[in-house]
Amino acid sequence: MRTFRNPVLPGFYPDPSAIRVGEDYYLVTSSFEFYPGVPIFHSKDLVNWRQLGHVLDRPSQLNLDHTIPSMGIWAPTLRYHQGLFYMITTYVDNNKDQHNFYVTAADPAGDWSDPVWLEDAPGIDPSLFFDEDGKVYYTGNRVPPEGQDYPKHMDIWLQEIDLEQGKLTGPKLSIWQGALKVGHAQEGPHVYKIGGWYYVLIAEGGTGHTHAITIARSRNVTGPYEGHKANPILTHRHLGREYPIVNVGHGELVETQHGDWWMFCLASRTCGGYYRNLGRETFLTPVKWENEWPVVNPGKGVLELEAAAPDLPETKWPQLPVRDDFESAELSLIWNFLRTPRGEFWSLTERPGHLRLRLKPEQLTEISNPSYIGRRQQHLSFRAAAEMVFKPGATGETAGLVLIQNADNHFRYELKLKDGKQVLQLIVRSRGDEQLLASAPYPQDKVQLKAEARGQDYSFYYRADEFGSWTALHERADGRVLSTDLAGGFTGAYIGMYASSQGAPSTNYADFDWFSYEEIE
């Protein structure tokens, strides 16, 4: 029996939405304050995914200037109808006001259109449903029109939408308010028509430990909807905080070309206690139908780290190399910026075979667009390294590696000037308070920096070149500072390269010859 490993998209890939088009599967996830936005993936077997690009990859589509951590792009839905792909999502601003929009493309790899912003579309987590009679419906959540009976009590609503005009039309209809009266934060609705029934699948319980997936059905798209007596159909909140997979929710149903059903959802793996450095990841689990209701992972009812693979031809894609030598004309799709990149602060051509980062005054501690390029941490234990050439020319100029959860929670592994001499230093910033963990003189301009995580023990090393042995700058730092449980928010840890002049103008730059990332078994 062929098996697969969960999560199928490890690392910070939350709120999965997936579709099948013929024998091809496509999937998108949330991206929050990171740019480009909404990564999009392709698979033939539901397990092995390759990234096609990002849906929102132009500043005209996505302005994230000054977006605070964990705001930005929430919970996209991907749909396909008559040759056109649709992605609909919410941009949440710093005041937590919601702005819903959709974009379209004939090719899921892009280019995607500029946003169509929807008026009078309250709430978050929009979805589209194309009915058989040609009508299209928008679903989302909102504060109930009659008011909230308890904190975070939300209403799932439905309204017809005219996609040609980019407008909602007709009445807004409340169709469901979840399975439990205390099951707050009803959100993430998806409507499906399966057999003679319309189903609305939602998340409730909040995206933390009490997260859950529930379902209701109706003979009419507008309701009334009857909740399933077996709700929730998937949750881990009853398994306790020592179970290795937690906060399961936000599901999406997909039928294969052979008539089998599967569910994608988000969940987190814990590490070193109830700490979730990687954020919310994308998991896969089978679904069977009994009495016209779905049963998730029959006989077990939980997500598994290893399970029987879908009955589809296994299609593996070329693996990303462990090392990026920056020899391409474009950045690899794994790399992201913090917020929409402003200014010409990076280059792959000024020094061929290198990533050049120009020092910007913006700092990692600010809600800004610093000179930073990073990728997701995808494994509980990993090794990341880079070779950098950098000569700080003034006090305050700094460059190196960073491991970041957000502006107030990160590690900075930097080369800088101190009292006129070059030093390597490791700073941990936790809830806005900084501590110097280690420092060592380093007079040379070329350095290889390495960070290793074994669970929550994070260690930092350096050497002059590949012929030397690694020297420990600091070992077994507490990695829990990178967990959402201490840092807050909805994202996951990133690892990247960084350069800053810390408020002062500068023409200096750091050149990175390569960057490597690999799992430690």
Write the DSSP symbol of residue 229.
T
**Catalytic residue list contains 97:** no
**Catalytic residue list contains 304:** no
Within 8 A by CB and 6+ apart from 344, the residues are: 358
| φ, ψ (nearest 5 deg) of residue 83 | 85, 0
Only one residue has tokens 């050439």, namely 389
Residue 299 near residue 286 (C-beta atoms within 8 A): no
Cα–Cα dist 490/176, whole Å: 25
Residue 55 near residue 41 (C-beta atoms within 8 A): no
Residue 260 near residue 253 (C-beta atoms within 8 A): no
- Token pair for 416: 């800088």
Residue 450 near residue 461 (C-beta atoms within 8 A): yes
Within 8 A by CB and 6+ apart from 371, the residues are: 345, 346, 357, 358, 359, 360, 362, 498, 499, 500
Question: Beta 323-324 vs 382-389: how paired, if at all?
Answer: unpaired
Kindly name the residue from 57, 155, 160, 187 that is annotated as catalytic. 187
User: To the nearest 5 percent, what fractions of the chain are helix, strand and coil?
Assistant: 0, 50, 50
Q: How far is CA 326 from CA 83, 342, 350, in A?
A: 36, 21, 12
Point out the residues that are catalytic.
15, 187
